[in-house]
Amino acid sequence: MTTNVGTIDRILRVSLGLGLLYLAFLSGMPAFEGGLVKYGAAVVGVVMLVVAATRVCPIYSIFSFKTCRV
pLDDT value for 28: 87
pLDDT value for 31: 87
Q: 13: Cβ–Cβ under 8 A, 6 or more apart, which residues?
A: 5, 48, 49, 51, 52
Q: Is residue 60 part of a domain?
A: no
pLDDT value for 34: 83
Question: What distance in Å separates the CA atoms of residue 19 and residue 32, rounded to the nearest whole number?
Answer: 13
What does the pLDDT profile of the chain (70 residues) look like in tens digits?
789 999 999 999 999 999 999 999 999 899 888 889 999 999 999 999 999 999 999 999 999 999 998 7
pLDDT value for 70: 73
- Give the count of domains, the chain: 1
Range of the domain at 35: 7-55
Q: Is residue 11 part of a domain?
A: yes
Q: Is residue 62 part of a domain?
A: no
Question: What distance in Å separates the CA atoms of residue 1 and residue 26, rounded to the nearest whole number?
Answer: 35
Q: Is residue 24 part of a domain?
A: yes
